[in-house]
Amino acid sequence: MALNIVEKIDGAVNVKHVLASVSDKRGLDCLVPGLVAANPDVKIYSTGGTYAAIETLLGPEAAARNLVAVAAYTGQPEMQGGLVKTLDFKIYLGLLSETYNEAFRLAPRGNPEKEWQIRILHRMADLDVQRLDWSAAIKDNEEILRISPDDERAHLALFRLYPRTGHSHLSIGALDKLIRRYLTNDKTAKALTVLEDLIESQPDSIPLRARIAQLCLNLGKRDQALQHLDILGDLQLEAGHREGAIKTIEAILALNPPNEAVYADLYREMAQREPPARKP
């Protein structure tokens, strides 16, 4: 069985968590006391015979402080007579997220493996979000898109994560990439659904409102386009985007709205000129 040994870490930090499960118990009498000496607060996660051996080496007081049963940590009992103990995302995601773990980077790229990579990366991203590590979550989702460019979940995650790291300008770009992929693959209904869901949670977003209005226009949904354009114009005026509001009113007038005279008067007031002649 090949060994995967991490020999390099970022910075000099105390070992805080150790996963120990061995068939040959020789050397534990040196390793375990050495770990505790290096960091008295170290947590050693173990199971079965290894757990029992470490418990004996540490003694009751130190074992209560430093030793944790894998089943207690994962919340899952052992299976297959004790053979399956660490096959839990709390364990393998921690191992795979090591910066210098070559096993994950060099994993086979076949379809089943690809699906597992994506699932693992999504779990890693979820954990990073829970830890409020936005930058790590962004890297996870960017890696997902490198493997699977059509992954909607990753695109939308980046849309929400970029602003948290001060990169708001990248946020709408992530969304545009997803919408373009849908349109390219003739999935316009899906693109519209995504935008509608986002508008529901961010109704005052000018970029989102502009995009859903344009998509409705492209799909021939005139009434919906008018509704979104009307809201877009109000949002632009409130934000002081005068030129943008004028262009939005032009787009509304081009659709022959029921209250055309009202929009025409507003256009004259704002633009100080007559509205453009409507195309026949």
On whether residue 35 sits in a domain, the answer given is: yes
Paired tokens of 212? 């859903």
Q: What is the mean pLDDT of the chain?
A: 83
- Does position 42 have pLDDT exceeding 50, yes or no? yes
Write out the residue range of the structural domain in which residue 259 sits: 187-274
Say how many domains are in the chain: 3
CA dihedral 55, 59, 60, 66 (to 10 degrees): -60
Domain end position, chosen among 145, 171, 197: 171
**pLDDT-wise least confident of 95-104, 141-150, 154-163:** 95-104
Mean pLDDT calculated for residue range 143-163: 93
187 secondary structure, DSSP code: -
Paired tokens of 26? 């020789």
Q: Which of 31, 30, 25, 60 is nearest to 44 (CA)?
A: 31
Co-location of 240 and 217 in the same domain? yes
pTM of the model: 0.56
Predicted confidence at residue 1, as pLDDT, reads 38
- Does position 228 have pLDDT exceeding 50, yes or no? yes
- Residue 23 pLDDT class (50, 70, 90 cuts): confident
On whether residue 238 sits in a domain, the answer given is: yes
On whether residue 130 sits in a domain, the answer given is: yes
Return the higher-pLDDT residue of 110 and 260: 260
Return the higher-pLDDT residue of 108 and 27: 27
On whether residue 160 sits in a domain, the answer given is: yes
Residue 91 burial (CB count, 10 A)? 17
On whether residue 4 sits in a domain, the answer given is: no
**pLDDT-wise least confident of 12-16, 117-121, 155-159:** 12-16
Mean pLDDT calculated for residue range 97-108: 52
Domain end position, chosen among 144, 171, 198: 171
Co-location of 160 and 195 in the same domain? no
Co-location of 192 and 260 in the same domain? yes
Three-class DSSP category at 46:
strand
Co-location of 54 and 26 in the same domain? yes
Region for residue 80 given its phi and psi (left: phi exceeds 0; alpha: psi -120 to 50; beta: otherwise): left
Predicted confidence at residue 90, as pLDDT, reads 59
On whether residue 73 sits in a domain, the answer given is: yes
Which positions ≥6 away from 252 have C-beta within 8 Å?
Answer: 226, 229, 230, 233, 263
Give the pLDDT confidence of 190-199 residue by residue, as tens digits. 999 999 999 9
Paired tokens of 95? 């191992």
- Residue 114 pLDDT class (50, 70, 90 cuts): confident
Co-location of 61 and 101 in the same domain? no
Domain end position, chosen among 24, 47, 81: 81
Contact 18, 42 (CB under 8 A): yes
Give the pLDDT confidence of 244-256 residue by residue, as tens digits. 999 999 999 999 9
Mean pLDDT calculated for residue range 43-66: 88
- Does position 277 have pLDDT exceeding 50, yes or no? yes
Dihedral over Cα of 250, 251, 255, 257: its sign: negative
Element (H, E) at 34: helix 28-38
- Residue 85 pLDDT class (50, 70, 90 cuts): low
Co-location of 59 and 75 in the same domain? yes
- Does position 141 have pLDDT exceeding 90, yes or no? yes
- Residue 164 pLDDT class (50, 70, 90 cuts): very high
Co-location of 77 and 92 in the same domain? no
Co-location of 129 and 163 in the same domain? yes
Co-location of 52 and 93 in the same domain? no
Kindly report the CATH number assigned to the domain that includes residue 261.
Answer: 1.25.40.10
- Does position 103 have pLDDT exceeding 60, yes or no? no
Task: Give the rounded percent of residues in the chain with a pLDDT score beyond 70.
Answer: 80
**pLDDT-wise least confident of 7-11, 97-101, 136-140:** 97-101
On whether residue 133 sits in a domain, the answer given is: yes
Co-location of 77 and 99 in the same domain? no
| Type of residue at 106 | L
**pLDDT-wise least confident of 171-175, 260-264, 276-280:** 276-280
Co-location of 144 and 191 in the same domain? no
Mean pLDDT calculated for residue range 179-197: 90
Co-location of 36 and 109 in the same domain? no
Predicted confidence at residue 94, as pLDDT, reads 57
On whether residue 280 sits in a domain, the answer given is: no
